[in-house]
Amino acid sequence: MERIAICPGSFDPVTNGHIDIITRGARIFDKLYVVVLNNESKHPLFSVEERVALLKETTKDIPKVEVDSYSGLLVDYAKKVGAIANIRGLRAVSDFEYEMSITAMNRLLDQNLETFFIMTRNQYSFLSSSIVKEVARHEADISELVPEVVENALRKKNAENNK
């Protein structure tokens, strides 16, 4: 039986911390779907299509990874692809508190979907997409925070928004 997992997120934009969690999750499972969720409560800088394209580019060399998008309940997507696990990255205790409530709701909706938490590596413990966007908006160096293709996309997007 193929062990399939999902790694959901907004990925606005994808960071080196995300790539680390994706890479480590892909080593554990036979197939890993990285899923861009369309969260209507957030106001993303990049469209869903742009985020999917950036993720496809940045994960193209990671075996067993497939990038997709979904608008709906995560448990429904998991059932659609036959996933048995949900992979979530944790940076700090505050992440755990948030993730615990999401996990409890997912478990209420689908008892068979397990959640696996992967602790981020120390060098990414401060890193978030929000921080990256703010630093990039002020034209500071983000080369150690995101893959090069994402850095270029952020510069282009910021230039478009500053016209």
* pLDDT of the residue at 49: 96
* pLDDT of the residue at 161: 82
Residue 41 bears catalytic tag: no
* pLDDT of the residue at 93: 82
Domain residue spans in the chain? 4-161
Q: How far is CA 145 from CA 2, 11, 104, 134, 148, in A?
A: 33, 13, 31, 12, 9
Out of 18, 51, 88, 133, pick the active-site residue: 18
- pTM of the complete model beyond 0.85: yes
* pLDDT of the residue at 86: 97
Out of 3, 27, 42, 155, pick the active-site residue: 42
Residue 80 bears catalytic tag: no
Check: CATH 3.90.1200.10 for 4-161? no
Which residues does 99 contact at the CB level (< 8 Å), separation at least 6?
88, 90, 115, 117
Tell me the pLDDT of the chain (163 aa) as tens digits: 899 999 999 999 999 999 999 999 999 999 999 999 987 677 899 999 999 999 999 999 999 999 999 999 999 999 999 999 999 999 888 788 889 999 999 999 999 999 999 999 999 999 999 999 999 999 999 999 999 999 999 999 988 887 7
Out of 31, 56, 64, 91, pick the active-site residue: 91
Residue 42 bears catalytic tag: yes
Long-range own/partner contacts, residues 27-30 (CB < 8 A, 24 or more apart): 28/116, 29/3, 29/4, 29/5, 29/64, 29/85, 29/87, 30/2, 30/3, 30/4, 30/64
| Phi/psi-derived region of residue 17, left when phi > 0, alpha when psi is between -120 and 50, beta in every other case | alpha
At how many degrees (to 10) do helices 48-59 and 148-161 cross?
Answer: 160
Residue 128 bears catalytic tag: no
